[in-house]
Amino acid sequence: MELTIAPGEGLVDEVPELVVQGLRPHEQVTVRIDVTDAAGRAWRSDNRYRADAHGVAGPAMSAPLAGSYSGVDPSGPWWSMHSVQRHRSPVIFMAPDDQLTWTVRCAADRARQVRRTVVRRWRARRVTRTESMDEGLRVVRFAPRPLGSGPRPVVVLIPGSTSMEAVTPTAALLASRCGFTTVVLGYVGGQGQPRTVANVPLERFTRAVSALAERRRVAVVAHSVGTGGALAALALARVPVRAVVAIAPTHVVWQALGSGGRPPMTSSWTYRAAPLPYVPVRGELLLPQLARHALLRRLPGGGSRSTALRLRSAYGAGLWDSAAVKKALIPVEHITAPLLAVAGTDDAVWPSEAMARALVERRRTVAAQDDLLIHPGAGHFMRPPLVPTTADRDGILVSGGTPQANALAQAETWAAMTRFLERHLGFTEPADA
């Protein structure tokens, strides 16, 4: 029996070709994949396949007879990995911004077992990582090797309310796959920064992006809550960028996020020292979830249960307040760059599909190059391909969607985003892996 994985080392968005040969005709073989993520959590997938008449099996040839996914899918064994500690499953798989090593084992019977390892990189070898603090921002920069023909375009990434570590792997992969210089701007949670998205000055973004745009072609990629700040900053300050990508976006400014209990009665963002008008979050609609969590914590073993909330109802009800929405609309028609808006129909964090459509509709009279990408059945998180999408709490995907729909959305979003950025920045030269 022979297990082949090709290539054995490469960028994470390249699906490894996994083939088992030397089996008896129609023999069954079990393939197990193990990896430890950047947070030190163990993940695993187990799938059983039937060999063909030539004794060859693999996920590109047939659907698993049993296992962690269904259907013929070469990427299935990778995105369908589950946390080994199922009773304490994390909300997300924490990817690094450098590399991980997967261990692949296949077993056909007790006497025959084969083991291989495969390395997948978010950051190519010739991409350097630097970090600094700059006027209230934590800045992480990924730079490919120098070009003799001039400076590379820059892609600025603005994360959501989660840690910027959720976005730095994407930045590293963009630098490696497309050859852009990428810069991640962390604005909450760090030393000297707000604990949550509350009264964050937009000037922090406008200064950083404007300084880069003076010398280079610049695009902005924003995620989730960060899309509100990114779009408002670009629109109000008229920052000259070449392209904008908004993933799970908002078209309005929202009430500030709280660190516990009810959200503070202020805006998420300020501009010129004044809070921007905002749409209130209907926090009272979360009370049934809060009561359920309080009850579960009193039960045996309840202390390890998740307190994560599905927030869509609270945000969706806020959009019913038409007067507040009108005041809080982000004037995205002032952004002259093309926009790619991406959302899933089953986003459990907030109604990103409706807000993405509203963004594109508001810009319809001023932008002919906008793109709208809606993923049926997908949730909130859109990360690079092959990143496991099965993370849940108490059997529920907090971000929404199904693992398979989210995996497909990740792959399609990554392909669409890289094409969009390459087209509008006019550049493509991958760094060496």
Provide the number of structural domains found in the chain: 2
Q: Is residue 214 part of a domain?
A: yes
Whether residue 310 is predicted with pLDDT greater than 80 in this model: the reply is no
Q: Please indicate, yes or no, whether residues 223 and 369 belong to a single structural domain of this protein.
A: yes
Give the SS3 label for residue 173.
Answer: helix
Which residues lie closer than 8 Å to 283 by C-beta, 6 or more apart? 262, 263, 314
Q: Please indicate, yes or no, whether residues 304 and 408 belong to a single structural domain of this protein.
A: yes
Supply the pLDDT for residue 303.
Answer: 44
- With pLDDT > 70 as the criterion, what percentage of the chain qualifies? 87
Supply the pLDDT for residue 179.
Answer: 92
Q: Please indicate, yes or no, whether residues 71 and 177 belong to a single structural domain of this protein.
A: no
Nearest to 360 by CA among 344, 377, 378, 373: 373
Q: Is residue 430 part of a domain?
A: no
Q: Final residue of a domain: which of 103, 121, 139?
A: 121
Dihedrals φ, ψ of 293, to 5°? -60, -40
DSSP conformation class of 337: S
Domain that holds residue 287: 128-425
Q: Final residue of a domain: which of 80, 105, 121?
A: 121
Q: Please indicate, yes or no, whether residues 234 and 361 belong to a single structural domain of this protein.
A: yes
Q: Please indicate, yes or no, whether residues 177 and 273 belong to a single structural domain of this protein.
A: yes
Supply the pLDDT for residue 297.
Answer: 47
User: Mean pLDDT across the stretch 375-389?
Assistant: 92
How many whole angstroms separate alpha carbon 30 and alpha carbon 17?
A: 16
Q: Please indicate, yes or no, whether residues 112 and 197 belong to a single structural domain of this protein.
A: no
User: Mean pLDDT across the stretch 42-61?
Assistant: 96
Q: Please indicate, yes or no, whether residues 309 and 419 belong to a single structural domain of this protein.
A: yes
Q: What is the largest CA-CA distance in the chain?
A: 72
Q: Please indicate, yes or no, whether residues 101 and 224 belong to a single structural domain of this protein.
A: no
pTM of this structure = 0.91
DSSP conformation class of 42: E
Q: Please indicate, yes or no, whether residues 60 and 180 belong to a single structural domain of this protein.
A: no
Q: Please indicate, yes or no, whether residues 188 and 205 belong to a single structural domain of this protein.
A: yes
Q: Is residue 433 part of a domain?
A: no
Q: Is residue 241 part of a domain?
A: yes
Residue-wise pLDDT tens digits, 413-426:
999 999 999 999 98
Q: Final residue of a domain: which of 57, 89, 121?
A: 121
